Amino acid sequence: MDFRLGDEAEQLRHDIQLFLDDLLTDDVEAEIYRSGVSHHPGYVSGMIEHGWFAGNWSKELGGAGLDPTSQMVVQEELGRREAPMNASSVSTMVAKALRAHGTDQMRSEIVPSILRGETICVLGFTEPECGSDVANAQTRAVRDGDHWVINGSKMFTTNAHIGDYVYLLTRSNVEVSKHRGLTTFLVPLDDPGIEVQAVYTLSGERTNIVYLNDVRVADAARIGEVDGGWQVLTSSLVDEQSASFAPWLIRLLEEVEAWAVETGRHDDPDVQERIGRARAEAEVALLLRRRCTWMDEAGIPRGIEGPMAKLFSSESLTRAAQDLFDLVGPDALRSFLDPTAPRAGRIEYLMRFSLGTTIYAGTSEVQRTMIAQRGLGLPR
Ligand SMILES: Cc1cc2nc3c(=O)[nH]c(=O)nc-3n(C[C@H](O)[C@H](O)[C@H](O)COP(=O)(O)OP(=O)(O)OC[C@H]3O[C@@H](n4cnc5c(N)ncnc54)[C@H](O)[C@@H]3O)c2cc1C
């Protein structure tokens, strides 16, 4: 086996690094960190200019026609550099759902606008009382002639305060089993019945709680069939469930290795052992995700490989972050933007960031359940 990705992929990696070197000045990084919002206009325009914004879409649809390996290299580098990509990634994920299940107007107007970087879409699935069991959504959509009236609340609606539309999961039918009574909509976030309130996570990331009070939308805002929301939703979540945090782990290691050299502790056997252990896990995490890409290229449907990549990468990042934080000692407590912090506070930031990664895009318990039931054939 040859695990190298080839000259073309490495050239692409180099090109992305140059783009991010230019974009991510200290000022830009401080601005992103202070706002807690993973979005930046320069990032969006640069990604569009290079053709990487919806890189794996065909050229005729507005992408760059990147093959799965090239697209993976783009994702690896964006993650390793902590690029402000969340709003764009979610918007292109929604664009994919709209292409597959949306109306002609969504396909001809909203999708191109997302690909031009003019429209931001956010995900409104989770509710205050249901996240993992997303099919239990209680936000109610009631039909009123050619319209629907929506009432309820959504939790962790990241970027809703800067977004244009929320891809909303609602309960449209209470007479049937929970998976059969869901309908999805694309709802404009400037509707007067929508209120967005800030929620800040431990890593400083800004997300939101969104209240919907008598929000009235035309039936034309519906995505997919009435009560067919579960099918629409599950096709959208495949990419999320194979998210990988290996690039963030590699970034953490780069910072801790640089710290070890700067402080002259690189010869210390304890330092070497801890870094070595985390390096080995980073390699496994990287390869688990690369296996998903290889399967895509070989035309093999993914099963539990996505959840395995997500589970292992997020847990190894969390493990390594805590172990290496401990290794750096009390100095590691000094945070990002503190000029006296080791490695400009990135070790501390990555420690806080790591904790959320085992929650979003499917918690570790949920990923383990999928692996146990679908992969190992264990009973419910
Ligand atoms: C920073 C951040 C950003 C997010 N952004 C978005 C977004 O933009 N849009 C959106 O819709 N959502 C978003 N989420 C929500 C995220 O998807 C949910 O937090 C996640 O699905 C977990 O749901 P929950 O928080 O309701 O926890 P719960 O589902 O209540 O889970 C609580 C605990 O119970 C465990 N648990 C739950 N069910 C089971 C089970 N059956 N078996 C074993 N253990 C179980 C979970 O693993 C967890 O440890 C975001 C979350 C975070 C933290």
Q: How far is CA 348 from the centre of its chain?
A: 21
Contacts of 346 (CB under 8 A, 6+ apart): 251, 252, 255, 336
**Which atom of ligand 1 is least distant from the CA of 134?**
21
Domains of the chain: 7-84 (1.10.540.10), 121-229 (2.40.110.10), 242-375 (1.20.140.10)
Residue carrying the six token digits 């990032």: 43
The reply to whether ligand 1 has any atom less than 6 angstroms from the CB of 205 is yes
Nearest protein CA to atom 35 of ligand 1, as residue: 365
pLDDT on residue 80 = 97
pLDDT in tens, the chain (380 residues): 778 899 999 999 999 999 999 999 999 999 999 999 999 999 999 999 999 999 999 988 888 899 999 999 999 999 999 999 999 999 999 999 999 999 999 999 999 999 999 999 999 999 999 999 999 999 999 999 999 999 999 999 999 999 999 999 999 999 999 999 999 999 999 999 999 999 999 999 999 999 999 999 999 999 999 999 999 998 777 667 678 999 999 999 999 999 999 999 999 999 999 999 999 999 999 999 999 999 999 999 989 999 999 999 999 999 999 999 999 999 999 998 898 999 999 999 999 999 999 999 999 999 999 999 999 999 98
The reply to whether ligand 1 has any atom less than 6 angstroms from the CB of 158 is yes
The strand ranges marked E within the chain are 121-124, 140-144, 147-155, 165-171, 182-188, 194-200, 206-218, 222-223
Residues 67-111 pLDDT 10s:
999 999 999 999 999 999 999 999 999 999 999 999 999 999 999
The reply to whether ligand 1 has any atom less than 6 angstroms from the CB of 360 is yes
The reply to whether ligand 1 has any atom less than 6 angstroms from the CB of 82 is no
> 293 by DSSP, 3-state: which?
helix
Give the ranges where 102-196 is alpha helix by DSSP (H).
Answer: 104-105, 111-115
Q: What is the C-alpha separation between 152 and 213, in angstroms, rounded?
A: 7
Query: From ligand 1's centre to the CA of 362, what distance in Å?
Result: 6
pLDDT on residue 62 = 81
Query: From ligand 1's centre to the CA of 359, what distance in Å?
Result: 5
Q: What is the C-alpha separation between 138 and 127, in angstroms, rounded?
A: 8
Query: From ligand 1's centre to the CA of 371, what distance in Å?
Result: 17
Contacts of 327 (CB under 8 A, 6+ apart): 256, 270, 271, 274
Q: Which two tokens stand for residue 146?
A: 């050619």
